Amino acid sequence: MARSKTSNAWLQEHVNDHYVHMAQKDGYRARAAYKLLEINEKDQLIKHGMWVADLGAAPGSWSQVAAKLVGEKGRVFALDILEMPFIAGVDFIQGDFREESVLKTYTDLLEGREVDLVICDMAPNITGNAVTDQARSMYLCELALEFAQNHLKPGGHFLVKVFQGYGYNEYMTAMRDTFATVTTRKPKASRDRSAEMYLLGKQKKV
């Protein structure tokens, strides 16, 4: 089957992508690693010994970054509907985050302890319908925020990928109700044409 012009353009961009080459050289599974590395360099989110929840983790580049930074005394708990090959220092659960049974299996890993940081680079399967895709994306963001509200320790931080559109303002309000400060981040590794951005909630309120 012949590739479409769009997929050819994406492939060309991917092949020539600076961050793709860096990821291959540095041993990261995806260029997304550099988004987290840049945000972490600016905001100092991940520290040695932390417990970190990584939602929507596959293929695992954010978990790779987090596991390196928390070190042997820290732990990373990853979750994704897709399979993710083993990463040292990472506990992984495969399943649909929207299902209660999967969420329970995941939270059981925490053994009743609250985490220091929740990171979420989740995105839904894209249908091509902008309204549907935005609604699905915001639903995942809402679930991630709810997880942070329930399992993040007071003073902890939450980093989540969002797309501006329907539901964004309401989501920002919910973030501000939960955290002392909420800021936006658009790392250099995020492609200019992408509508994605990251919201960083710092210092979860008691």
Following DSSP, what letter does each residue of 146-193 receive, concatenated? Answer: HHHHHHEEEEEEEEEEEESSTTHHHHHHHHHHHEEEEEEE--TTS-TT
Domain for residue 88, yes or no?
yes
10 is in an annotated binding site: no
Residue 140 has pLDDT above 80, yes or no: yes
Domain for residue 79, yes or no?
yes
Task: For residue 148, give every residue at least 6 positions away whose Cβ sits within 8 Å of its Cβ, in sequence order, or none.
Answer: 118, 156, 158, 178, 201, 204
Residue 121 — very low, low, confident or very high, per pLDDT cuts 50/70/90? very high
CATH code at position 168? 3.40.50.150
Q: Are 68 and 36 in contact (CB under 8 A)?
A: no
> What total number of domains does the chain contain?
1
Tell me whether residue 123 is exposed, middle or buried, using C-beta atoms within 10 angstroms of its C-beta: 0 to 12, 13 to 18, 19 or more: middle
80 is in an annotated binding site: yes
Residue 119 has pLDDT above 60, yes or no: yes
Residue 6 has pLDDT above 60, yes or no: no
108 is in an annotated binding site: no
The answer to whether 35 is a known catalytic residue is no
| pLDDT recorded at residue 10 | 45
pLDDT tens string 71-92: 999 999 999 999 999 999 999 9
3-state helix, strand, coil in the chain (%, to 5): 40, 25, 35
Residue 11 has pLDDT above 70, yes or no: no
Greater confidence, 2 or 192?
192
Residue 130 has pLDDT above 60, yes or no: yes
| pLDDT recorded at residue 3 | 57
In this structure, the chain runs to a length of 206
116 is in an annotated binding site: no
Residue 9 has pLDDT above 70, yes or no: no
Domain for residue 161, yes or no?
yes
Domain for residue 24, yes or no?
no
96 is in an annotated binding site: yes
pLDDT tens string 161-191: 999 888 999 999 999 999 999 999 999 988 7
pLDDT tens string 39-59: 999 999 999 999 999 999 999
Which residue range(s) make up the domain with 112?
Answer: 35-204
Return the exposure string of 187-200: e unless at least 16 CB atoms fall within 10 Å of the residue's CB, then b.
Answer: bebbeeeeebbbbb
Greater confidence, 2 or 138?
138
Residue 13 has pLDDT above 80, yes or no: no
Residues 22-28: contacts with CB within 8 Å, 24+ apart?
23/61, 27/64, 28/61, 28/64, 28/65
CA torsion sign, 205 to 50 to 107 to 112?
Answer: negative
Task: Report the C-alpha dihedral over residues 151, 133, 131, 8, rounded to 10 degrees.
Answer: 150
Mean pLDDT across the chain, nearest whole number? 91
Domain for residue 6, yes or no?
no
In the chain, the largest separation of any two C-alpha atoms, in whole Å, equals 56
Domain for residue 193, yes or no?
yes
Active site residue: 25, 161, 186, 205, which one?
Answer: 161
Domain for residue 25, yes or no?
no
